[in-house]
Amino acid sequence: MNKITKLLVSVFFASILAMPLQAGELSVTGGATATITKGGTESSAGSSIGISNELAFGASGELDNGYTWNYVTELDNTSTITDDVQLTISGPIGTIGFFAHEGGLRAEDIAVGAVGVGKDYATTMTWQEGYNTDGYGNIQYHTPSGLLPFGTSIKVGYVPSMQNSSVQSAKGTISNPASEATGRDLTQVNVSLAPIDGVTIKSDAAWTGGESGSTGINGTEQGVSGNVQVNYASGPFKVGYAQGASQPAVASGELVYYENKSYGASFAVNENLVISYNYDESEKNQRVAVAATATAGTRTTVTSEQDTYQIAYTMGGMTIGYSMAEVSNADYSSAAGKTENVNILSVAMSF
């Protein structure tokens, strides 16, 4: 895979090397959101007021012979100055992109939600959904639009170093790389298609490489994950279903893997008002080592679930939303008191 990625990059840049650059254009888009949030367990809940922004500063231009370039940097985090950066170059043979905390190829979240997509909008736990290129510095190739039948698009992403999990400036290096016991690099492939009107299908597969953990019995295991989703939209209705699985890489010891599914539906009451429901489920499967007096190992399972109800009302560039979510067996724990709630009233401005 490394050789294929290098070959694609070499061919692409060889084709644009001699092309002069024309003046580009600048743009600013984004929005600001204020929220009142209340969440926690039945016996212990807290409230907070927060304001966040998501501003995208973009620049774009055109090369000769139909090639274009696009640069975007986003400010969407209260603790960082620059977040989510990308530079893409597109032409007849496709798109090459360089991404830092951008360019996610995982296909686990369906396209349903009045305010946001279920657990992706708000939750009380960390869901194990599999690998995603947007958590690292990565390079990607996308097939050109219209090349394949049924609106098919193929995207291939490669993370040369899984230590590169923060935004790096040009020529930046990782001075003290940590252990690569659970993977040095990551490869991910995303395939999407629209075979008939209103239907979209997306899938992804990801795998790690270069693990340097223990060898022998119960030694290093490669990390793998995959997802598939189907969405359908017709008039005011939208429905979606997704299913996937993830096995994080293991340096040594027993395996843990997760089986996930989600579905949802939304209905636009009119051009301003939308209501939706999402269900998310993740089953953790933990293998337990063979005991000294036993002949076989065992496996324990626990399933976390979340129900999300949302309503949103839009007036021009302002959206007032309310999201109510309940998580059972939060954090993959069936212990008493692990049913948690998060309720959010939001006011969002877009421009």
Instruction: Name the range with the highest mean pLDDT among 9-13, 103-107, 252-256.
Output: 103-107
Q: Tens digits of per-residue pLDDT, 271-290?
A: 999 999 999 999 999 887 66
Q: What is the pLDDT of residue 294?
A: 60
- What number is the average pLDDT over the span 24-48? 81
- Long-range Cβ pairs for the range 271-275 (8 Å, 24+): 272/313, 272/314, 272/315, 273/311, 273/312, 273/313, 274/114, 274/311, 274/312, 274/314, 275/114, 275/310, 275/311
Task: Average the pLDDT over each of 82-91, 171-180, 255-264, 314-323 and give the range with the smallest value.
Answer: 171-180
Domain of residue 228, residue span: 2-172+179-350
The total number of structural domains that make up the chain: 1
Q: What is the pLDDT of residue 59?
A: 93
Q: Tens digits of per-residue pLDDT, 174-212?
A: 666 666 777 789 999 999 999 999 999 999 999 998 877
Q: What is the pLDDT of residue 165?
A: 75
CATH of the domain at 204: 2.40.160.10
Sequence-distant (6+) residues with CB within 8 A of 264 are 110, 112, 113, 117, 118, 239, 240, 276, 277, 278, 279, 308
Q: In whole angstroms, give the CA distance from residue 117 to residue 101.
A: 20
